[in-house]
Structure 1
Amino acid sequence: MTSELLDRALVEEATKKSGLIWVQGGVSALDGDAQGAPARALWHVWHEGAACVVGDGPGEQPLPGLVDGGDAVVTVRSKDKGGRIVAWTAKVVETAPGSPEWEGAVAELKGKRLNAPDGDEMPERWRRECRVLRLEPQGTTAPLPSDSQAARPVPTPATTRRPIPAALPRLLRRKRR
């Protein structure tokens, strides 16, 4: 019983303090037997005993593999060093828009959402176009893996690398003189 309480406290404290969690949906157990999507980094808030996330709408984070009633594995990293602290299984619960659970989670999420294009209209957009999920801890924590678990990045149309403009080297040389 004491071990279970310590695990629960570790999950809560680590998840509260981390601004980013890695979530893999469609996972049947902590051994990594995944039928779903690869793990994704998600921003979240800890609210009433669960990690709450919003996504799957225009301009919001994707939530592939996270289905209502399904399982997920959540890996929490250290906010300062970025290393893994704890991994735990979660039950995915989709909150109904307008319900007290949804309203409470959205109030917390709204305060943490960075660079929102619509400010005060954001909760209404989330109600229409997004899903708000609770990742509720189940059972105990898992031992952390000994390998790096590095994986190829998920394909995306976003890019930061483009060819430099042809005139840029000349412009930079001119400024040095």
Structure 2
Amino acid sequence: MTTEEAAAEIAAVMKKAGLLWLSWNGGRPMPAWFATVDGSYVVLADRSGSAEQPLPGLADAGAAEVVVPAKPATNRLAGWRASVRRLEPGSEEWTTAAHVLRTERLNASGLDTQLDRWQAEADLLVLEPTGEITESAGSYDDRSRLEPPPGSTATTRGARPITFHKRTKRRPKLT
């Protein structure tokens, strides 16, 4: 498959995607929302631990594996490799990408200061297809994608109450 054919196949699959799963440097895959800007795929990666999309280390990775799930997110449509390029804040390309991402962001807060916040606290990254498709219709690998959940400090409150989902009183008979 030529690079042009691979780019066309990736573009067709990306039109059906709502989000991506990205993995880089051998790490576990992480979900990321994206926007298509002039044929490029742009993601927002948090740089300073703020409330934006946490993708730690992606800006410095240089390359990433992309898995495109189907809309119900129960199976994969395709997988491909991408080179990662950081957009320079304030450039014309950055401004265009930021405005498109701004319209794609569903739960944004502080819309009036959003672009300034992104410029100071986040990286806009372009995922450029390298032309290598790792998975596509009819050629999926059969390795298991199951992974243990990541570690967390979260705990439960304790044992469930004894009357959990039980009726406390019987209804009187209507005779």
Distance 2:154 2:111 in 1: 24
Task: Figure out how many residues of one structure are paired with residues of the other and give that number.
Answer: 164
Match for residue 31 of structure 2 among 23, 26, 41: 41
The two structures have a TM-score, normalised by structure 2, of: 0.78
Task: Specify the SS of the correspondent of 1:74.
Answer: strand
Query: Are the structure 2 counterparts of residues 146 and 134 from structure 1 closer, same or farther at C-alpha, using a change threshold of 3 Å?
Result: same
Larger Rg: 2
Match for residue 153 of structure 1 among 149, 152, 156: 149
Contact 2:45 2:58 in 1 (8 A): no
The two structures have a TM-score, normalised by structure 1, of: 0.77
Which consecutive unaligned segments of at least 5 residues does structure 2 have?
none
Match of 1:23 in 2: 22
Bigger share in helix: 1
Query: Are the structure 2 counterparts of residues 157 and 94 from structure 1 closer, same or farther at C-alpha, using a change threshold of 3 Å?
Result: farther
Distance 2:19 2:154 in 1: 20
RMSD: 2.9
Match of 2:58 in 1: 66
Distance 2:125 2:154 in 1: 25
Distance 1:123 1:43 in 2: 17
Distance 1:72 1:126 in 2: 22
Please give the residue correspondences for 1:1-177 in structure 2 after superposition, counting only pairs within 5 Å. Answer: 3-26=2-25, 34=26, 37-56=27-46, 57-68=49-60, 70-80=62-72, 82-143=74-135, 144-156=140-152, 162-163=157-158, 173=168
- Give 1:91 shift: 0.7
Which consecutive unaligned segments of at least 5 residues does structure 1 have?
27-33
